[in-house]
Each structure stands twice: as C-alpha cells, then as structure tokens.
Amino acid sequence: MAMTIRGLAKKAGVSPATVSLALRNHPRISKTMRDRIQRLAKKEGYVPNPIVSKLIAQVRASKTTLYKSTIAIVNTSEHVSDTEEPTVRSWTEAAAARARELGYYVDHFVTSKEHLRPERLIDILDARGIQGLIVTGPFHNNIIDPKFDALWARSVAVVLGERPVRPALSCVINNQFNTVIQAMREARTLGYQRPGLCVHPDIDELLEQRLSGGYLVGQQALPPDARLPALAYAPDDQPGFERWFAEHRPDVILTLHTEVKAWLESMGCKVPGDCGLIHLDLSPATPGWAGMWQNHDDASTAAVDMLTGQLYRNEIGPPRFQKCMVINSDWRLGKTVKAKR
C-alpha cells in the first residue's frame, strides 16, 4: 500500500496537518521538523497524489475545473532524426522523470514517427484526459506549424528548448547568448587571445542568433585585431574551414561540431597544443571536451514545474503573454584546452 500523509504522521508522531505543512516547506513548521519529515517521506517512498493536490488547490482558489493526472511530451518535428539528438533525448528523459516525481503519469508522442495527424492526436489526448503538454521542436523559423493550432487551443502547453514566435507559447530555453559570452571569458582566463566561432547558420537562426550575438558582444573585450569573423560551419566543407583557419589563425575555437577536432588534426594541428577547442553544448557524446554544460535536466525540470503551475491555474490555450525562462550554463574544463602563458 502506498504511504499516505496519515501514515507519515503516525510514524513521525505528529499530526497529519503538520506533515502536510512540512512537505510544503511552510514557515509555520520549524526547519528541523521540516527536514525530519521530508527525510522520512523520502525513506518511506511517499509520492504526492496529483489529483488530491489539484482538488486542494481548487478548494483554496474556489475553482471547480477538472484535473487530469497525466501529462504528455509531444515532439512535433517533421523529421524523426530530430527526436534522436542527444539534447532532445536528454530533455525528454528529464522531463518524464520530473513529472513522475511530482506524481504524474507520462505519455510520449512523436508525431512524425507515429504519423499522427493533429486531429488524431487530439482524439487520443481527449480520450486519455490529457491537457498538459511539454512540446519540443525544432520549428521552422520558430513558427509551429499552424496545423497544430487546434491542439494548443484545448491544452496547457510549455515549449522546451526554443522560443516559438507563433503561437507565443511559454517556454524554457538555455541562455545561449550568455553561454557564448561565458565561454569566451573562460578562454581569456586560460590565456587564449584569438577565439573563433564555428557553428552551423541554421542552428544559429533557430536560436534567434543568440550564438553569434554572444560572440559579437564577447569580442568587445578583445583588441580589434583579435576580433575574428565567425565561420558558418558546413559538414561537407572542410576546405572552407581550412581557408578560414589559415587566414585568421584562431588559437581557440568555440563550436557545436565535434568534426572540427578531426579537421584540425588532419591539418597537423595539435589539440590543445596548437589550437584549443570549446564545445558550447557538452553531453555524454563529447567525452574529454572542455566547454559549456547547458543543464538540460534543469531546463526540463523547470518546464514541467511551469506546466504544472499552469495546470493548477487552469490556463487553457495560448497565454495572454509569453513567459520565457532561461537556464544558464556551467563551464567545465576538459582535455581540449590548456592554460597558456
């Protein structure tokens, strides 16, 4: 039998009201008591019942809307390969974990893989009583295909990973602008003086030029002759990379593309001896690299928390104004850079 608040109260020797307040970090309960009860709840495997939580919230707010205890993760990309990217997998796994931690069931839909038309998806969601959606893209020109408009009209939705401009759904994204600025700052601390940027222009456009924008602002701390032009990465254009490198001689390169390391080594350039490398989105697929850890798990957690808050407030449909939460990155040292004199 699942542990209940009454069961916890009996084990802790306190009233159920005290347990309830302690689990909500209420200031009326001392920190010592809150910590003791929360440790006991974790030990006993207590999981809050989202239906009960919703009903209590409704009573407090004098609302009578119906609560649904399942949320869905929906990927609307036209290409199945997009859902298999390490970043997207990380978002999906972390979002599902956070939802389960809060007591929700989770369904996952990949519209391109399952050939789901919006109308069919809505039928499934209605049949399963699902209103809350975590949505991932990518979206062309940051616009979600209008064919999904009916889906947003009947749902509470939060977009994870990018900011849609239409419809203006609330979202959680990485602070890529600051990610690049911080990476350049760390490079200067290590002694690098001529940082270069090499990213695919489609990715930069998807991120509303926050990568190139952060690069331009970060260059303001450099002398004019060290402000190198960024290179538009193309996976089949190693000769273009070699020409850019020979002309501008960066001593460290900020990138999202691991192929750059192989290109440098094929040119006889030692990494990090001759040129350092900084990855702007570290993942388990980039072992040994120095760079920026974008905290995708934290972004997913924040997206689920934002979604559940909107569910509690019954905020159906596109919001009156778009809320966009940004998550900062962390710097991590690796073998692709070294301190220079």
Task: Examine the domain organization and report whether 264 and 228 are in the same domain.
Answer: yes
pLDDT at 79: 82
Tokens 């934290």 correspond to 298
Asked if residue 26 is part of any domain, the answer here is yes
Q: pLDDT at residue 187 above 50?
A: yes
Task: Examine the domain organization and report whether 27 and 110 are in the same domain.
Answer: no
- Of residues 49 and 250, more confidently modeled: 250
Average pLDDT over residues 105-125: 91
Tokens 């809350």 correspond to 132
- Which helix H or strand E contains 146, and what residues bound it? none
Under a CB-based contact definition with an 8 Å cutoff, are residues 304 and 312 in contact?
no
Chain segment 74-113, per-residue pLDDT in tens: 999 888 888 788 888 889 999 999 999 998 999 999 998 8
Task: Examine the domain organization and report whether 163 and 186 are in the same domain.
Answer: no
Task: Report the domain count for the chain.
Answer: 3
Structure tokens at 125: 């969601």
Q: pLDDT at residue 122 above 70?
A: yes
Strand order in the sheet with 276-279: 231-232, 195-199, 252-255, 276-279, 290-293, 330-332
Q: How many CB atoms lie within 10 A of CB 216?
A: 15
- Which helix H or strand E contains 264, and what residues bound it? helix 259-266
- Of residues 17 and 71, more confidently modeled: 71
CATH of residue 280: 3.40.50.2300
Closest among 187, 174, 181 to 213, alpha carbons compared? 181
Task: Examine the domain organization and report whether 160 and 181 are in the same domain.
Answer: no
Asked if residue 337 is part of any domain, the answer here is no
Under a CB-based contact definition with an 8 Å cutoff, are residues 332 and 282 in contact?
yes
Task: Examine the domain organization and report whether 137 and 273 are in the same domain.
Answer: no
pLDDT, mean over the chain: 90
Asked if residue 84 is part of any domain, the answer here is yes
The strand pairing partners of 331, in sequence order, are 292
Asked if residue 339 is part of any domain, the answer here is no
Which residues form the domain of 36?
5-46
